[in-house]
Amino acid sequence: MARMWNEAVLYGVRNDFARPTVHARNLFHISAAMYDAWSVFNDEATGFLYGNEVAGFSCPATEFDIPVDVLPEQERAISYAAYRIIKHRFRYSPGVGFIYAHVDELMEELGFDPDIEQTEHADGNAAALGNAIADCYIEFGLQDGANEQGFYENQYYQPVNPPLVLDSEIPGNPDIVDLNRWQPLVIEGFIDQAGNRTEDAPEFLSPEWGQVVPFSLSANDKTIFQRDGFDYQVYHDPGQPPLIGTDTSAAYQWGFSLVAIWSAHLTDEDNVMWDVSPNRLGNISQFPSTFEEFQSFYQQLEGGDASIGYAENPITGEPYEPQMVPRGDYVRVLAEFWADGPDSETPPGHWFTILNTVSDHPQLEKRWAGQGEQLGNLEWDVKTYFALGGTMHDSAIAAWGIKGRYDYLRPVSAIRAMAERGQSSDPAAASYHPDGLPLVPGYIELVTANEPLAGTNAEHVGKIKLYAWQGPDYINNPVVDKGGVDWILAENWWPYQRPTFVTPPFAGYVSGHSTFSRAAAELLTEMTGSAFFPGGMSGFSVEANDFLVFERGPSVSFSLQWATYRDAADQSGLSRIWGGIHPPADDIPGRRIGEVIGKEAFDYLSNYF
């Protein structure tokens, strides 16, 4: 029953606006409400909100007569709690008609009357109990700092940079004021990650989200920063990212130039083959902490990280079979798989789909933390959804609190802005500027007079050129066309994204994907009692020329394989670099923070069961 309603929430997310913060909160509150409904019938469990007080908000419990046949009434209470909150939270969604029809049909299939709205449940009415729990979460959500009543609008944040207009007639980034701060984007026909069209430049999503009441985040880990009359609350503060014009300029230029260099990998025609099995990928034991360590952790030219792989599958005792795939196929699929584009569940929901895949695996033994008796499907689902929901909610609060505080720009802004200034490697060469892009032979060079990029009247001579993905202008029909890789003017550089989206509308530092994914990986490791996927390996099938959304590919069929949940999370972080969304400076702090959040959330669950 919990699985049915989790799928219903994910259906709602797919038909709503692309709002990772809002949906992490929705997934948590609905999962927690289902857990509370279940816990009323279980003497060994304590509710999260029902019968408890959270951040000063009280939801008193009422005496409830427990029936002899518990399971049907548990399922009834769970269903009414989830149904009521879904109807409330998604009532202004662009796909509200689809969402309402979906959950109404589910109630009908289950034999539950959606018109029962009573909340008095002392007589043992499980439907009324579910409604009462839903009311608690609805009222709690109206005062938890998310500004739900104001449609989650920003109350204080204002960008310092004018928008970057992404138009082939306006190259570069001529109007940027501060190369260290976030910049809105203006895109004709902008379509968000959920497929919804917006005409205006999207506002920064949730820069004030650090104010929201968390699940397990501790006030001891919170720092408050004031800017423009607002207190930005930051959990697990990672400190400043690299900034241009400071003593960390070299790290800034190296990181954003690496994003441009990795863009050269987005082709299956360079004859580079990789083993993309756990035989070669994964098994990272330590993250870098200094600029020098970043340079050795990330493979600047080849791509990838310090993975060493595994000698054998610890579950089967056999070596992992190599899986040789064109690098360009692998990295494009990786970027698309983790991009959470149109009709997706957004990053927090993505990990719920992974959890469901794990729960369905025939080799998984549903023992909490890998110990004790096996749990029934309902108890397993209720507990794991509650746990993952709280962890994803905390990850959103931590990551977006940092995003709002540091207000850091994205690669499309930084690369184009640095390119306009010139190159920073050789003061004696053309187009020198200390804040320009560093030259890297074969990847970042100066335009010379005797090449096509020079222009009709040599107007581009001396500008910066990149060997990179050519962008969506080279794709007329995504069923048959590929953007391809070649030399382009750096002022026209484009992330590996569709032309109506380009980059998510919020600051880059820290990476939400890295934070969500590592936190989920740590939690799944703790909940299942094993770092490894069931059977020692995941397996997400990818069909040739039937996976990529905005260009043709991949050229071959293969599987995304990770030995451990942490390996999957690490690849999620790398995918955002190949996708042109984040530099390494956004990735590693997100992974570190997610690791802490996942472990702390699991420990915190002992307060409830």
Classify burial at 122, counting beta carbons within 10 Å of its beta carbon; exposed 0-12, middle 13-18, buried 19 or more.
exposed
Give the domain CATH number at 145: 1.20.144.10
pTM score above 0.85: yes
Q: What is the pLDDT of residue 568?
A: 97
- Structurally, the chain folds into a number of domains equal to 1
Take residue 323 and report the two structure tokens written for it.
């899986």
Residue 199 scores a pLDDT above 70 = no
Query: H or E element: which one contains 130?
Result: helix 126-141
Q: What is the pLDDT of residue 187?
A: 84
The answer to whether the beta carbons of residues 427 and 190 sit under 8 Å apart is no
pLDDT digits (tens, 9 = 90+) for 56-76: 999 999 989 999 999 999 999
Residue 188 scores a pLDDT above 80 = no
**pLDDT grade for 194, boundaries at 50, 70 and 90:** low
Nearest to 503 by CA among 254, 161, 205: 205
Tell me, yes or no, whether 129 lies in a domain.
Answer: yes
**pLDDT grade for 499, boundaries at 50, 70 and 90:** confident
Tell me, yes or no, whether 65 lies in a domain.
Answer: yes
Range of the domain at 124: 2-150
Tell me, yes or no, whether 114 lies in a domain.
Answer: yes
Amino acid at the residue 314: P
Tell me, yes or no, whether 51 lies in a domain.
Answer: yes
pLDDT digits (tens, 9 = 90+) for 503-527: 899 999 999 999 999 999 999 999 9
**Helix boundaries (H) for 43-95:** 70-89
Report in angstroms the alpha-carbon separations of 388 from 23, 105, 172, 469.
Answer: 13, 27, 42, 36
Residue 341 scores a pLDDT above 60 = no
The answer to whether the beta carbons of residues 351 and 511 sit under 8 Å apart is no
552 backbone φψ class: left, alpha, beta (φ>0; ψ -120 to 50): beta
Tell me, yes or no, whether 583 lies in a domain.
Answer: no
Q: Give helix 20-39 / helix 70-89 axis angle, nearest 10°.
A: 160
**Contacts of residue 87, Cβ cutoff 8 Å, sequence gap at least 6:** 100, 103
pLDDT digits (tens, 9 = 90+) for 251-296: 999 999 999 999 999 999 999 999 999 999 999 999 999 999 999 9
Tell me, yes or no, whether 34 lies in a domain.
Answer: yes
62 backbone φψ class: left, alpha, beta (φ>0; ψ -120 to 50): beta
pLDDT digits (tens, 9 = 90+) for 375-408: 999 999 999 999 999 999 999 999 999 999 999 9
Tell me, yes or no, whether 382 lies in a domain.
Answer: no
Residue 250 scores a pLDDT above 70 = yes
pLDDT digits (tens, 9 = 90+) for 344-383: 788 999 999 999 999 999 999 999 999 999 999 999 999 9
As a whole number, the mean pLDDT across the chain is 96
Tell me, yes or no, whether 273 lies in a domain.
Answer: no
Amino acid at the residue 294: F
